Structure 1
Amino acid sequence: MRAAARWLPRFQHPAQFVVAGFASAIAVGTVLLSLPVAREGPASASFLDALFTATSGVCVTGLIVVDTPGYWSTFGEVVILGLIQVGGFGLMTTASLLVLLVSRRIGLRSRLTAAAETKSLGLGDVRRVVTGVAKVSVLFEFATALILTVRLLIGYDEPLGRAAYLGVFHAISAFNNAGFSLYSDSLMRFATDPWVLIPIAVAVICGGLGFPVLLELRREFRQPRRWSLHTKITLSATALLIPGGMAFITYSEWDNDATLAPLSVPAKLLNGFFHSVMPRTAGFNSVDVEQMTEGTWLGTDVLMFIGGGSASTAGGIKVTTFFLLLFVIVAEIRGQRAVNVFDRQVGARVQRQALTVALLSVAAVVIPTIIVAEATPEISTDRAMFEVISAFSTVGLSTGITDSLPGAEQAMLVLLMFVGRLGPITFASALALRNQEKLYDLPEGRPIIG
């Protein structure tokens, strides 16, 4: 037994458990989707198609290389739905538990501060985190599914069973920010229907806020002064990004005959709002993304890269990382020695963590973009960058080039989805847990900047 134990993998860090768990889920999903019963027709799916779809499902991305309703059977669709649910629930739970772990590994004074700041995550209350995430997920998914089912039943004459199936699938896909759809045109057929687009957008927003924020809002919704710094940053950033993105996309596409121009003014505003929410990182689309202007693509790139809230189903570098760095810039411009956000001071260690995550994420986007652009000269650089950011930020929006990429580049997107989903979470926790105290400081140097 001792000899056998030597061959077992030894996990020295919690992040290793996270990576191993999600890799195992992807492996199981790949096997299930490779079965002949998972595909429409006599043949089974290729390994790369099954791997790509399983990774996209577990990492709640939504990028596809085959048409979901046309290629996969009902069994395959249920497998994808299960992978989305496992991936979304696992992400929210894992991220929340890592917050607990980090708060328990810091000093006593910092621990007390963390306990006061993260009221939604009590130190050591693991069971409450898990059950809380489950309750939140079921609540939002059930409410969204109910609205969609009734709308499809009454407004589109779908049979009850079919309406319920479509409602549940899209509700789970929306709350988990996955973006998988059982319609070949995603949600373009519902471009003028607020009863479909708004519930899905609300589910995406709530899933992208994260469990700590949702739980804190439930407890202290009427007392904003008692909200933690994390909740204040997440809600403030969301309140700025969604209207800002809506204004930009609506203005940019207003006269585009292939997207918003044929729609009425209310429908234009509805779709501008919807496409401002999706980069948080859902991936549904109600108008043709491929026909959008290059300026809209670039603005969407920025929204996708920022992503949603920490400890949520959203991807990207997270709004807390982005806006914390924005506050650092403001403090430096003003000549302030400390970085103050709302009524709290942010420590230098947290600033370095945010900068590290952001710069590594930039590298994770730039290098694959260059590879795709060089390997496929027929694809423009802006399309290649859009696809890479969508994969890394686990968004799922596409300009229509995913299925036309060579196998090697599709495999790279698989790795990018995996790294983009787990990388920021595990790496940030690793930085927080890695705390080495030095007994001395080197003399200060001042290199020339700029």
Structure 2
Amino acid sequence: MLLLVLEWANARTFGPLETPARFLAAFFQSVTPRSGGFATVDIEAMTSASLFLLIALMFVGANSGSTGGGIKTSTLAILVGSAWNMVRGRGDLIVFGRRVEPENLVRAGTVTTLYTLLVAAACFALLATNPNLGFTHLLFETVSAAATVGLSMNTTHLINDPGLVILSVLMYLGRIGPLTFATSFSLRGGQGRGVQYPPERDILVG
């Protein structure tokens, strides 16, 4: 619905379409950023707000267990639920009558943090190697590659060879998942295993 409202009067996207076709185009173009990678309208011609929405959809991605990329919808749900839980002053995260284990909260936070750092680092590298291209175009390309979506603002062919290498590595890491990649190098049974350290309660957050 947001995409429909934002692009309703855009003469370069939904404007020339009949009313039923506008609803269909909005539905299709809001689903495909979650992993499909198809486009029925010119992505580059969309408004800035619509591009922001598509980037957000690509960043979140598909459902857990699917072949889509992104941080996954369940990860976002846990993070939002955890934040709302803290605002309400609750100790445990309760969702639909079930308690979410703290391990899942840590995992959701880790996945989101690693994914955000990966996207930020790759986008910075693309901006540094392709200074002639705009920020929005390169951010869109970065998130699309990390989420293995395939959408583009007609920019991919303008990116130089170092930038294409960055996108290729990003697509690989996005496919296997940043958490999987990071934990593959972790040392199991290393120093400190089985040792319980005293808690630090004087850290200011926020």
Q: TM-score, normalised by structure 2?
A: 0.91
Q: Deviations over 1:223-261 (max 9, x none)?
A: xxxxxxxxxxxxxxxxxxxxxxxx111111111111000
Percent pairwise identity: 35
Contact 1:353 1:428 in 2 (8 A): no
Distance change in 2, residues 1:320/1:331 (3 Å): same
Match of residue 449 from structure 1: 205
Match of residue 344 from structure 1: 98
1:307 aligns with 2:61: yes
- Equivalent position amino acid for 1:446 in 2: D
**Structure whose alpha-carbon radius of gyration is higher:** 1
Report the Cα offset of residue 378 of structure 1.
Answer: 2.2
Secondary structure at the counterpart of residue 128 of structure 2: helix
Report the Cα offset of residue 441 of structure 1.
Answer: 3.5
Q: Deviations over 1:133-183 (max 9, x none)?
A: xxxxxxxxxxxxxxxxxxxxxxxxxxxxxxxxxxxxxxxxxxxxxxxxxxx
Distance change in 2, residues 1:325/1:272 (3 Å): same
Report the Cα offset of residue 437 of structure 1.
Answer: 5.9
Structure 2 gap ranges (5+):
none
1:252 aligns with 2:3: no
For 1:156-195, list aligned pairs within 5 A.
none
Report the Cα offset of residue 428 of structure 1.
Answer: 8.6
Count of matched residue pairs: 202
1:440 aligns with 2:178: no
Distance change in 2, residues 1:346/1:430 (3 Å): farther
Contact 1:388 1:413 in 2 (8 A): yes
Partners of 1:392 and 1:351 in 2: how far apart?
22
Secondary structure at the counterpart of residue 284 of structure 1: coil
Q: Choose from 15, 40, 52 the match for 1:261.
A: 15
Match of residue 39 from structure 2: 285
- Equivalent position amino acid for 2:201 in 1: G
Report the Cα offset of residue 377 of structure 1.
Answer: 2.3
Match of residue 165 from structure 2: 411
Secondary structure at the counterpart of residue 308 of structure 1: coil
Contact 1:325 1:351 in 2 (8 A): yes
Report the Cα offset of residue 439 of structure 1.
Answer: 4.3
Structure 1 gap ranges (5+):
1-246
Secondary structure at the counterpart of residue 285 of structure 1: coil
- Equivalent position amino acid for 1:381 in 2: F
Contact 2:146 2:171 in 1 (8 A): yes
Distance change in 2, residues 1:298/1:391 (3 Å): same
Computed over aligned residues only, the root mean square deviation of the Cα atoms, in angstroms, reads 2.0
Contact 1:317 1:424 in 2 (8 A): no
1:353 aligns with 2:116: no
Contact 1:357 1:428 in 2 (8 A): no
Q: Deviations over 1:164-209 (max 9, x none)?
A: xxxxxxxxxxxxxxxxxxxxxxxxxxxxxxxxxxxxxxxxxxxxxx
Partners of 1:428 and 1:260 in 2: how far apart?
42
Which structure shows the bigger proportion of residues in helix conformation?
1
Partners of 1:427 and 1:323 in 2: how far apart?
23
For 1:40-439, list aligned pairs within 5 A.
247-424=1-178, 426-427=180-181, 438-439=194-195
Report the Cα offset of residue 330 of structure 1.
Answer: 0.7
Contact 2:114 2:179 in 1 (8 A): no
Q: TM-score, normalised by structure 1?
A: 0.43
Partners of 1:426 and 1:302 in 2: how far apart?
22
Match of residue 35 from structure 1: none
Contact 1:250 1:268 in 2 (8 A): yes
Partners of 1:438 and 1:425 in 2: how far apart?
23
Partners of 1:428 and 1:373 in 2: how far apart?
25
Partners of 1:360 and 1:325 in 2: how far apart?
14
- Equivalent position amino acid for 1:271 in 2: A
